[in-house]
Amino acid sequence: MPDRVVRGWLAFGAVVTIVAVWVFAGITDDVVAHEELTSGDPPVASWLAEHRTPWLTRFMQAVTWLGSGWVTVPLLVSAALWLPLWRDRRRTLALVLVVSMGSALLVTVGKLLTVRPRPVVGEVLTTATGYAFPSGHSAQAAAAYGVLALLISLRVGRGVKPLVWLAATAMALLVGFSRLYLGVHWLTDVLAGYALGACWLAVVVATAVVHDRRRAASRPRVNV
């Protein structure tokens, strides 16, 4: 029987995965069928395009890079070496790379299956290639800053943990908003990206923790 920690992580992974898959599937269905949720995309894009300001544009152009693999991958590699789980840098490095690369692969598959064009509302204020759905930056931000928050929260006191997760959430939200503001994604693209990133993060982390606990339990005990 799995111990309490294993059951907890299995429950966490299952709940987050089920909710995230449900959200992603619902959004994808509306995007493919051009129904309900997508009706709110043009008004949001138009409103943001009409309310841009020079200082906010510059800020968002900087923030959006925080969801790029050029930033998240080196950041996660550094965190894995500095804050390893299980006191094993190689396994932690493998974990963060699977989280990052896996979310990127899932986004690519989603884009190829939906082939959704990017918005054509106002001026596009940053470089973006490929299809729109789901947002790769949003998925990467949810997955990368989520696993970064996990690595940090396991090394800080109980009172600081909520602040760590709040900061990670704020970072992911900022990245997603930057994609909307800069005119390269619809709102549903960003929401689907969050769901996809959160789902993959939950699956990978829960699997890794459960595997580690079972591996530790299977080791023969040495009696002294």
Q: What are the pLDDT digits (tens) for 106-123?
A: 999 999 999 999 998 877
- Here the tokens at position 222 are 């040495």
Please give the biggest Cα pair distance in the chain.
73
Which amino acid is it at 107? V
CB 115 within 8 A of CB 166: no
Domains and CATH numbers, the chain: 4-217 (1.20.144)
Considering only CA atoms, which of 223, 216, 178 is closest in space to residue 3? 216
Give the highest mean pLDDT range of 85-94, 126-135, 150-159: 126-135
Average pLDDT value for residue range 35-64: 92
Query: Whole-number mean pLDDT of the chain?
Result: 87
Cβ-based neighbours of 73, under 8 Å, separated by 6 or more: 97, 100
CA atoms of 94 and 15, how far apart (whole Å): 24
CB 206 within 8 A of CB 12: yes
The model's confidence at residue 216, banded by pLDDT at 50, 70 and 90, is: low
CB 175 within 8 A of CB 63: yes
The model's confidence at residue 1, banded by pLDDT at 50, 70 and 90, is: very low
Question: Tokens 């580690």 correspond to what residue?
Answer: 212
Residue 27 CB-density burial (10 A; 0-12 exposed, 13-18 middle, 19+ buried): buried
Burial 85-97 (b: 16+ CB within 10 A, else e): beeeeeebbebbe
Residue 122 CB-density burial (10 A; 0-12 exposed, 13-18 middle, 19+ buried): middle
DSSP alpha helix (H) spans, the chain: 4-33, 41-50, 54-63, 69-82, 89-114, 136-153, 161-181, 187-218
Q: What percent of the chain has pLDDT over 90?
A: 61
CA atoms of 200 and 146, how far apart (whole Å): 11
CB 216 within 8 A of CB 162: no
pLDDT at 224 (0 to 100): 39
The angle formed by the CA atoms of residues 159, 66 and 41, to the nearest 5 degrees, is 100
Q: What are the pLDDT digits (tens) for 162-202?
A: 999 999 999 999 999 999 999 999 999 999 999 999 999 99
CA atoms of 208 and 20, how far apart (whole Å): 19
